[in-house]
Structure 1
Amino acid sequence: MTQKVFVVGVGMTKFEKPGEREWDYPDMAREAGTKALADAGIAYESVEQAYVGYVYGESTSGQRAIYELGLTGIPVVNVNNNCSTGSTALYLAAQAVRGGLAECTLALGFEKMQKGSLGSTFDDREQPMMRHLLALAELQEFAMPPAPYMFGAAGKEHMQRYGTTAEQFAAIGVKNHRHSVNNPYAQFQKEYSLEDVLAANQIYGPLTKLQCSPTSDGSGAVVLASEAFVDRHDLAERAIEIVGQSMVTDLASTFASNSAINLVGADMTRTAAESVYAQAGFGPEDVDVIELHDCFSTNELLTYEALGLCAVGEGGRLVDEGATTYGGRWVVNPSGGLISKGHPLGATGLAQCSELTWQLRGAADARQVEGARLALQHNIGLGGAVVVTAYRPANR
């Protein structure tokens, strides 16, 4: 029988510019994991399985990281799914509880990154993104670095098809930098004008530097539990239920549609979101607060459409209406998102979960979304995987 799954503890470090702070990944994991356990009010000995995500690291870095919390002999699974690594760890930890294999699990993610654009580690074998890049190069002339090229190309396609403007993409960067001012965990906490964002160094297509997520160091952690565990430990008042969750990888349409928008995951997101809405019993119109994968401002706008916040081609209209910020229909990325909060790849999905948990508890301080009752999370990694998760408080 399928079990209900609850978030009972969350924790994260401040996200930092690589090299800004004297720490290593075990230090990051200890800080985030200790915070999550304390938030849940349980000891590490209560955890039955752990899923530890990172992209840049050696093969058993997950064990080395989690051993900072204790040595109990539990299964520790190392997880790597590119930028969706953190939410993939969350998905696996939830799956163990949902399937009745464990009553309490831990998802932890971290990243210690190099400065500058993402690069490859192994150059003696085919790169996992090669098929995507070759397909995209047939649509738009290849450029470096690959990530802004891919998401910038998708933005250019949207502009050509639907008349979306550079100003609309830039306004998303303005919004997310403004939101991050109230987030003490964010790497950047500075507000910029639309003119500032547009005038920043151009990276590719409509993207300027202030519309791109930075490399970051940091960690996040989430404790999950079954309903029986929540009841036994009297955690219902602070528990947040996962009411829908889906993980989808690349589809035939990713390559067959001859679309840069699909090559960066729009169809994956749409498929996952439709599954989550069916599981949760509510739709995008019911959601109050969203943390989505704005690795680049273009992807935030594309994701509005893929999540069903508006029809395809109408993402720019949501920007113009102020529909995705405080006072609008939804608050999207109240944390500042990846653009301003930062993007340590293995930690991002768990930081998103942490933010939404705080929002649904009414504990997000100056960035609190008033009356938040339903939340949606979206985390994507090219090559490719997307995880979409829906949440609501257990006691409502």
Structure 2
Amino acid sequence: MSRKVYVAGVGMIPFKKPGASETYDVMGATAIRDALADAGLDYNAVQQAYAGYVYGDSTCGQKALYRVGMTGIPVINVNNNCATGSSALFLARQAVQSGVVDCALAVGFEFMRPGALASNWTDRAPALERALELTNKLVGHTEIPTAIRQFAGAGLVHMRKYGTKLETFARIRAKASEHAARNPLAVFRNVVTTEDVMNSPMLWEGVLTRLMACPPTCGGAAAIIVSEAFARKHGLRTDVLIAGQALATDLPSTYEADDMIRVVGFDITRNAVQQAYEQAGVGPDDIDVIELHDCFAQNELLTYEGLGLCKEGEGERLVLDGDNTYGGKWVVNPSGGLLSKGHPLGATGLAQCYELTHQLRGTAGDRQVSNAKLALQHNLGLGGAGVVTIYQKAAQ
């Protein structure tokens, strides 16, 4: 990555429950305008745009972008399941880093419905067919929604293999709520205790409570990605550098290991983060602040291990030592994460970018991580794709 790429502007709207938000195009357009204003840039300067969403017809990206302007630029619509927002970011960064353009926009939005995730296509085999077959084989409990069976099933494997306690996952959820209480853009800002999480309704007896799962959410977020030369020419900020980034997909181990932890993307995470660390010339001990894909409290703990923050099986110790929050080794999900900030699928990866950009700028307010210089973003979608991005606070 010889050509330096910077995050010049970010925008994000408050996340809301289904039924309480604006339409998807309004949410996306508002996030774009906020990112442009943050960068101090006119939309006419944008040379390419990547629009991420999961639930919507083709060219929804154009509808959102046309609310901001119609300049004839390429608009590419992106759908990579829950990694959609960061996949749009990956493409924007790649376009700038390769020299194809000097200024690219990544935007993500989602207009979600209440309840568990479901496909709108019932007349064809699902994209996750192989993963579903393996989940049925390894987990059973087909009366439980699929995402719960997959991620909670992976957590159950960890519990059985390493002795991890259900209460540890509850502690992760309680930590998320404490962080989100400081974030005015989070959908849930009420603080819950470990006991509250344990006492919430059981969705799978002894394996998962309701509060351990992220809520369906509506929202939008955007980022302006620029080259160094473009930033200098237009007087834009160059204080947040994308130092490393990788998008990885499934390996044979996802299906051949007969392991639910692999089914839910552990090896995708490990592959992507190793590439990103190498590009940035850093390791996990160098990172200060992390936004990771905590769609379920169980997946946050699994991701600690996938990112190399600890060895496999040692995620519980990291939690008990307090190394995932303020005063510990890393601050994980200062935004409140997917569990409390919310998870509008297409917007999630760009909301993570928004949070980490402000952390490195030192403008994160009450949730600011002291002296943050290196930040790591992890965004995962089953089926599968995972994006890891490492941001560095750049000298001015």
Common fold, TM-score beyond 0.5? yes
1:5-44 correspondence to structure 2 within 5 Å: 5-21=5-21, 23-44=22-43
Q: Give the secondary structure class of the aligned counterpart of 2:138.
A: coil
Structure 2 residue identity aligned to 1:133: L
Q: Which blocks of at least 5 consecutive residues in structure 2 are unaligned?
A: none
- Give the structure 2 partner of residue 339 of structure 1: 339
Paired residue total: 394
Q: Which blocks of at least 5 consecutive residues in structure 1 are unaligned?
A: none
Normalised TM-score (structure 2): 0.98
RMSD: 1.0
- Give the structure 1 partner of residue 281 of structure 2: 281
Distance 2:123 2:312 in 1: 40
Shift of 1:356: 0.1
CA offsets 1:142-189 (integer angstroms, 9 cap, x no match): 332111110000000000110100011110000001100000000000
Distance 2:139 2:76 in 1: 39
The question of 1:128 aligning with 2:115 is answered no
- Give the structure 2 partner of residue 114 of structure 1: 113
- Give the structure 2 partner of residue 79 of structure 1: 78
- Give the structure 2 partner of residue 199 of structure 1: 199
1:236-275 correspondence to structure 2 within 5 Å: 236=237, 239-275=239-275
Shift of 1:2: 4.2
CA offsets 1:43-91 (integer angstroms, 9 cap, x no match): 0000000000000001110100111111100000000011000000000
Distance 1:203 1:32 in 2: 34
1:51-62 correspondence to structure 2 within 5 Å: 51-62=50-61
- Give the structure 2 partner of residue 88 of structure 1: 87
The question of 1:380 aligning with 2:380 is answered yes
Shift of 1:208: 1.0
Shift of 1:133: 1.4
Distance 1:38 1:146 in 2: 40
CA offsets 1:1-27 (integer angstroms, 9 cap, x no match): 842111000000100001023x21111
CA offsets 1:243-284 (integer angstroms, 9 cap, x no match): 000000111111111100000000110011111111001100
- Give the structure 1 partner of residue 224 of structure 2: 223
CA contact (8 A) 1:15 1:342 kept: yes
Q: Give the secondary structure class of the aligned counterpart of 2:221.
A: strand
Distance 1:101 1:203 in 2: 48
CA contact (8 A) 1:88 1:387 kept: yes
- Give the structure 1 partner of residue 214 of structure 2: 213
CA contact (8 A) 1:244 1:390 kept: yes
Stretches (4+) displaced over 3 A? none
Normalised TM-score (structure 1): 0.98
- Give the structure 1 partner of residue 176 of structure 2: 176
Distance 1:136 1:19 in 2: 32
1:328-367 correspondence to structure 2 within 5 Å: 328-367=328-367
Shift of 1:231: 1.3
More divergent stretch after superposition (139-148 vs 247-256): 139-148
- Give the structure 2 partner of residue 185 of structure 1: 185
Distance 1:347 1:3 in 2: 27
CA offsets 1:262-315 (integer angstroms, 9 cap, x no match): 000001100111111110011000100000000000000000000000000000
Shift of 1:234: 2.4
Q: Give the secondary structure class of the aligned counterpart of 1:56.
A: coil
CA contact (8 A) 1:169 1:206 kept: no
CA contact (8 A) 2:53 2:345 kept: yes
Distance 1:196 1:288 in 2: 29
More divergent stretch after superposition (204-213 vs 184-193): 204-213
